[in-house]
Amino acid sequence: MSTDLSDLRSKIVATLDKMANAIWPADNFEPVPSGKDLDTILLKVQSEASKNGLNNVWAEKARLIAKAAVVEQWKRGQNNLFGRFRNIATVGDVPMDDGTQRLVNLSEEISRTLSIADAEALQHIAATLDFAATLKLFRDLADGDCGYSAHHAIALRSMAEAVKARFQRPVWKHDAVIQLHIDYRCLRGGKQVLEATLNDLDTAVKAGCVSASSLPLTSVAPRGHGISVPLRLSRSVAAKVGNDQDLRVAALVVELGPLKAQAKMVVTQLPKVGSAAGLTAVVAKDFGFRNTSSIAVVRSATPIGEEALSRISGHNGGDGTKLSKTAAKKFLENHVSGDEVELLELVQFDGKDFLDRIAAQAKKVDGLRSEIDRLYNRLNRIRIEINKVAAAALGTLVPEAAEVQDNPRYMAMHGRFFRLLAAVGRLKDARRAVYRAVAGLKKSWFGHVAQRKADLAEKYGAAVVSEDLDIVAVETDDPAYKGRTFNKMINNGSKGQYNLRSENTLKWRGIASLKVPSFYTSSTDWRTGTVGKAQRRGEVFKAACDGRKWDADLHAAEMIGRYLFLRPKEGNRAEALKAVA
């Protein structure tokens, strides 16, 4: 991080704060303005930044960053409020200290004042209001009770205050990384230099060789000296991404952190649409958490036919309808697979360490949440005492500036209140850091599994086949249940993230991807067409006909792999065809 880059970063951060402050609303439940209306305000701040010594191109980059961040935070707050209100009667798994059921979308204090009947009455009202009407209700509640009983109105205002406290104006802190998308105006030499730099990198990537140069950024201030950012393409990176001539180095990004600046190239290529028709091998995966991906690679003596592809079309976004549970069962009972399908390889990715690390992070969050709730209880008690001394209504917010300065008890409580409030802020920052760590864990692990699966598909010239399956949360009475926090961390978006990484990897590498019905894949013996849940016993699949045993997840993966190659049972072809239809 050179002095010039550090200066550029600090001036951009200062400009970002001014811009965000200029467009952040007094009430973030107001409708979000159009981009044009926001730009009308931001362009004035951009002009002031330019007059105060920031090159206009960097001031414009700041405007684009600030606008996107503010709009995103604004919308997130409104969506969060709408979601909370729509689920206002939802109660938590664990009662509070006094045995009262906690309404998870309200504070503990409010949860103690509202009965379940009160919450259900508010839930009924929420169900009648759309998004715009909900926001209008909460704006109106700032000026009165809007016809609601006092304790209902207080509960709703408390919900609104909690959302506003959580979704405040974006702030770029000391550890913020500022990402600048480089266009020709950001460089000394303009279009010619940018095109030459991209072409040089593109050539080096496709050749799989090392490249070293520099990126001449324009000055921090108008007519100042430029900033040189070193560019170095390592052989390992070039080899990793440069194995396709359709690939193109399309853009450059410079990221400015507190201690480090980094240039990155953006590599693009058109998605490759792989076709499974005519292939004889498939890489079949069974998704789970304990075993994140159980994979079976199988090869058939006959290729995947149009009939099989048509049958599963609905599960792959085609015009056909999805095979129903009843039809899927009939199909499996009337179709079998044998030695004409060869098992080539079994692979299982053990997710135990991954789950253990998620569980450790969930424990941290539970500890932080408990401490935050404890501090909020103390804050509430202090607030009541402060308002008694100040002769204010008990529900009044504590002002930042002390109002009764001649009362030593008031001053002591006022100081303690804001010290505890600052401590809550630090605990929430720590909790957000844990959530970021969990997101990083999932990104790393799921990305690794997706890459290894694609490697297998390329090795065998195979299509990738998976179940068309939704993941649901683990029930509280299930032996695998590890608490609500763990449940949320591991389930929220996990399968979606894994599938997104997997699908993007497969498209990038031109590998065909298919989905088959999930019904009974883990409880079917493909040798006989026997379908029965009793055959799946925890981690073991035990065939009803002869007692043969498999690892349950690997058996499910092999069943998924054989799905496209199933043939009608001997002497029962007419019934099988009828079941398919």
110 class by beta-carbon count within 10 Å (0-12 exposed, 13-18 middle, 19+ buried):
buried
Contacts for 433 with CB less than 8 Å, ≥ 6 apart? none
Query: What distance in Å separates the CA atoms of residue 541 and residue 554, rounded to the nearest whole number?
Result: 9
* Beta-ladder partners of 541: 536, 550
Contacts for 112 with CB less than 8 Å, ≥ 6 apart? 96, 98, 100
- What's the token pair of residue 153? 């109105």
**Torsion angle, alpha carbons of 103, 471, 495, 429, to 10:** 10
Give φ, ψ of 297 to 5 degrees.
-105, 120
Contacts for 379 with CB less than 8 Å, ≥ 6 apart? 417, 420, 421, 424
* Beta-ladder partners of 231: 213
H or E segment and range at residue 10: helix 3-23
| 454 close to 506: Cβ distance less than 8 angstroms | yes
Query: What distance in Å separates the CA atoms of residue 552 and residue 106, rounded to the nearest whole number?
Result: 42
Radius of gyration of the chain (CA): 30
**Torsion angle, alpha carbons of 404, 409, 415, 416, to 10:** -140
Q: How far is CA 27 from CA 71, 171, 396, in A?
A: 13, 17, 18
Query: What distance in Å separates the CA atoms of residue 508 and residue 413, rounded to the nearest whole number?
Result: 60
| 49 close to 18: Cβ distance less than 8 angstroms | yes
The pairing of strands 524-525 and 335-336 is unpaired
3-class state of residue 334 by DSSP: coil
pLDDT at position 243 = 67
* Beta-ladder partners of 264: 253
Angle, CA of 485, 489 and 494, to the nearest 5°: 155
Provide DSSP, 57-82.
HHHHHHHHHHHHHHHHHHHHHHHHHH
Crossing angle between the packed helical segments 3-23 and 35-51, to the nearest 10 degrees: 140
Query: What distance in Å separates the CA atoms of residue 264 and residue 289, rounded to the nearest whole number?
Result: 33
Query: pLDDT of the chain along its 581 residues, tens only?
Result: 899 999 999 999 999 999 999 999 999 899 999 989 999 999 999 999 999 999 999 999 999 999 999 999 999 999 999 999 999 998 887 777 777 778 888 888 888 888 888 889 999 999 999 999 999 999 999 888 888 888 899 999 999 999 999 999 999 988 899 999 999 999 999 999 999 999 999 888 888 888 899 999 999 998 888 899 999 988 888 887 766 677 888 999 999 999 999 999 998 887 777 888 899 999 999 877 677 789 999 999 999 988 888 888 888 777 667 888 899 899 999 999 999 999 999 999 888 888 888 888 888 988 998 999 999 999 999 999 999 998 888 778 888 888 888 899 999 999 999 999 999 999 998 998 898 888 888 888 888 888 999 999 999 999 999 988 654 444 444 444 444 554 555 554 466 667 777 888 888 888 999 999 889 999 999 999 999 989 988 889 999 988 999 999 999 999 999 999 999 987 544 444 444 33
Query: What distance in Å separates the CA atoms of residue 138 and residue 78, rounded to the nearest whole number?
Result: 10
- What's the token pair of residue 365? 């969050």
3-state helix, strand, coil in the chain (%, to 5): 50, 15, 30
Residue burial 492-503, b: 16+ Cβ < 10 Å; e: rest? eebbebbbebbb
- What's the token pair of residue 342? 């060869």
Going by C-alpha positions, the residue among 471, 461, 466 that lies closest to residue 497 is: 471
Instruction: Go through the chain and tell me how many residues it has.
Output: 581
Query: What distance in Å separates the CA atoms of residue 98 and residue 111, rounded to the nearest whole number?
Result: 11
Instruction: List domains and CATH numbers for the chain.
Output: 3-166 (no CATH), 178-268 (no CATH), 281-353+448-580 (3.30.420.140), 368-434 (no CATH)
CA 331 to chain CA centroid, Å, is: 37
Q: Is the pTM of this model over 0.85?
A: no
Query: What distance in Å separates the CA atoms of residue 74 and residue 163, rounded to the nearest whole number?
Result: 11
| Residue in the structure block whose two tokens are 């990402």 | 179
In one-letter notation, the amino acid at residue 206 is: K
Query: What distance in Å separates the CA atoms of residue 317 and residue 188, rounded to the nearest whole number?
Result: 48
| 531 close to 329: Cβ distance less than 8 angstroms | yes
- What's the token pair of residue 327? 């039809």
| 219 close to 59: Cβ distance less than 8 angstroms | no
Going by C-alpha positions, the residue among 55, 22, 11 that lies closest to residue 172 is: 11
Number of C-beta neighbours around residue 312 at 10 A? 21
